Structure 1
Amino acid sequence: MSFYHLDPNRRGERMARRIEQLDDYRVLRRLPRPDEMWCRSMPVSNNEIRLAIVDCETTGLDPERNKMIEFAVGILTIDADMGDVIDVTPPQSWLEDPAEDLPFEIERLTHITSDMLIGKWFPDAAIVKAMADITAVVAHHARFDRGFATKRFPALASLPWICSMDDVDWPALGFTGGRGINALLTEAGFFLPNAHRAAADVWATTCLLASTAPDGRAIAAQMVETARRQSERLYATRAPFECKDMLKAAGYRWSPERKAWWTEGDPERIANERSWLTRLAGSIRPLTERVDWFVRHG
């Protein structure tokens, strides 16, 4: 996880290291500042991957009924050949008035109040400029954020989207306590001030993805490699209700739009799943679709 500068001679860091020698304590450090991040200073090739890392706060969970009230974006640039970080742009964030009072639970969760939003509007031109020349958009819960972001900024719908929650094999990297931002940060030894504000969540995601994986590349490089692969999505159409628990136990998810349980994987795994589904219930009609990073999190 060595991806940032931290002076080992600072008094606070010396005290933290002494405490860490005791079995009864664990120390969480603040997230690094942008100027403390490791970025390669030597010349780089023209083969760059520019990732726009985004997050939004909303008035609810449904992009058809609810509205976005905060949007943040930061840029993480990695070398496509070496896989290391070559530039980090700190997040920018903006607020927008939804023209309605915020639900109490949203104010409590985000610490954004209705008064803070009065007269605020997203500056479309500035946001488009901040996301110019990007390779892909990254969100930690891409299906949620994409629904709101592409409704407000339709141009984002044509870009590839990556989910840093699902497109990273966090357990294989040693993160076994969950895939949420706070759980991942805690395992990495950090804490997140201002959680559930868009800019804070973008910066936390940036720091996690800039971390060094066991192969020496940034986690972001592994994520892009995974996201770029084409895969197959299998729908267990017409699955009887009594199969629900078995499908959930097998890792299938429910699609309200398709009204079917589904799973995704490489062609060999999906072929095996099709065979299993036909044995599970005679009424199931397996349906397979090819997916890529343009549609995977749509």
Structure 2
Amino acid sequence: MTRIMAHVLEQDPDFKVFRRLQPMRRRRSGGNREGERTLCVLDLVTTGPDVRRDRILRLTLQRANVDACGRIVETHEARSWFEDPGFELAPEQVQATGITQLDVAGRTISDGEAFGLIASADMLVSHGASNHRPFVDRRLCLPATRWTCTLDDVDWHAHGFARSDLRGLLSGCGWFLDGDAGGDRTNVILNLLELGLPDGRSVLQALSEPEDASALMVEAGSVPIGATSLLRERGYRRPSGRRTWIRSISAACVEDERAWLMRRVYGGTRHLVAVRAEQA
């Protein structure tokens, strides 16, 4: 009944429906496949922005496996550590971070575990890498690591979002969270990475590789009404005046995409899916 009411409200322009963002849990059998990469999502809370004076209060890391087509195929549990800064937190610091003296008292980051999780990843993703990286580099002395920033490397305003902070993006996507723990924040970033952009790619695909003018365009027609939300989440869009949904992908992903459409959109029935070399 609740879902029906939410669906009815969504059709009314005077209402906006928000849904609780669920943890992204992906599991698959077997070992890593050819072309897979590992990304590590990082969230950091500090006493302030000055790397020389301020200290880390909480570090959270969550790893995920990404296939050759840029899709998250497996997620791992988030690891989070509090750390005692060695001084009393000011009231304004507690208010700004939501972290209290009791949370951090006597706590410390496991440097060895954190180093291993980051150093063995192919990509490190953070929402605010320019602020986080100096603290992490100073603390862990990382080897050369590819940092990607979901705050600065994505033009959220061009994609229709009024704000680019995590809370603003949550609201723009119609999501909400009950808390603000480190694992909650890395889960938000993982879900943002899967958002579809107007050019047919996901945020993760756009961050991972430059736009390819010779990308193949997948075109799906006669889509059941109930499957349109699945297509949007997958990165498909429906151009004005057309009755088909399109998405730009690489040639290596065509057969996987056909299989996904047959299984999730067309209910296992055979359906014609057009593929052509044209920029979406």
Q: TM-score, normalised by structure 1?
A: 0.64
Q: 2:121 aligns with which of 134, 140, 159?
A: 134
State whether residues 137 and 161 of structure 1, in contact with CA within 8 Å, keep that contact through their aligned partners in structure 2. Answer: yes
8 Å CA contact retained: 1:95, 1:122:
yes
> What is the CA deviation profile of residues 65-100 of structure 1, one whole-angstrom value per residue up to 9, with x for unaligned ones?
1000100011232223x2222112242211011110
Alpha-carbon offset, residue 214 of structure 1: 4.6
Query: Is it true that 1:26 corresponds to 2:36 in the alignment?
Result: no
Distance in 1, matches of 2:8 and 2:31, equals 39
| Contact 2:151-2:165 within 8 A present in 1 as well | yes
Unpaired runs of at least 5, structure 1: 1-10, 228-298
Contact 2:24/2:187 (CA < 8 Å) preserved in 1? no
Q: How far apart, CA to CA, are the structure 2 residues paired with 1:60 and 1:136?
A: 25
Q: Which AA in structure 1 matches 2:179?
A: N
Structure 1 residue 161: deviation in Å? Answer: 0.9
Aligned with 1:169 (options 152, 155, 160): 155
Matched ranges for 1:40-51 at <5 A: 45-51=33-39
- Name the residue aligned to 1:179: 164
Which of residues 128, 143, 146 is equivalent to 1:160? 146
Moved more, 214-223 or 12-21: 214-223
Would the alpha carbon gap of residues 175 and 43 (structure 1) be closer, same or farther in structure 2, given more than 3 Å must change?
A: farther
Partner SS state of residue 193, structure 1 = coil
Closer, same or farther: CA 165–41 of 1 in aligned 2, 3 Å:
farther
Say if 2:119 and 2:145, in contact at 8 Å, map to a contact too: no
2:233: which partner in 1?
A: none
What is the distance in 1 between the residues matched to 2:118 and 2:3? 36
User: In the alignment, residue 165 of structure 2 is paired with which amino acid?
Assistant: G
Question: CA deviation digits over 1:238-270, x for unaligned, max 9?
Answer: xxxxxxxxxxxxxxxxxxxxxxxxxxxxxxxxx
| RMSD after superposition | 2.5
Q: Which residue of 2 aligns with 1:265?
A: none
- Dislocated runs of 4+, deviation >4 Å: 39-44, 214-217
Q: Aligned equivalents of 2:4 and 2:31: distance in 1?
A: 35
Contact 1:59 1:103 in 2 (8 A): no
Q: CA deviation at 1:180?
A: 1.3
Give, in angstroms, the shift of residue 40 of structure 1.
7.7
Alignment of 1:1-298 (within 5 A): 11-35=1-25, 45-80=33-68, 82-131=69-118, 133-155=120-142, 158-172=144-158, 174-195=159-180, 197-214=181-198, 217-226=201-210
Q: Does the CA contact (< 8 Å) of 1:51 and 1:76 recur in 2?
A: yes
Of all paired residues, the percent bearing the same amino acid is: 29
In the alignment, the residues of structure 2 paired with residue 65 and residue 121 of structure 1 have an alpha-carbon distance, to the nearest angstrom, of 18
Distance 2:29 2:207 in 1: 23
Cα deviation digits, residues 158-195 of structure 1 (max 9, x gap): 211111112123344x3331221111121111113323
Deviation at 1:126, TM superposition (A): 2.2
TM-score norm. by structure 2 comes to 0.68
Alignment CA distance shift 1:216-1:84 (3 Å): farther
Give the whole-Å Cα distance in 2 for the aligned partners of 1:51 and 1:149: 16
Whole-angstrom distance in 2 between the partners of 1:55 and 1:164? 12
Q: What whole-Å deviation, never above 9, does each CA across 1:19-78 have from its counterpart, x for those lacking one?
A: 21222210111112223x6x7889974212221110111111111110001000112322
- 1:48–1:217 Cα change, 3 Å: farther
Q: Deviations over 1:97-138 (max 9, x none)?
A: 111011211211222111221110111222233335211211
Query: Which consecutive residues of structure 2, in runs of 5 or more, have no partner in the other structure?
Result: 212-280
CA distance in 1 between partners of 2:183 and 2:151 (Å): 17
Distance in 2 separating the partners of 1:226 and 1:73: 26
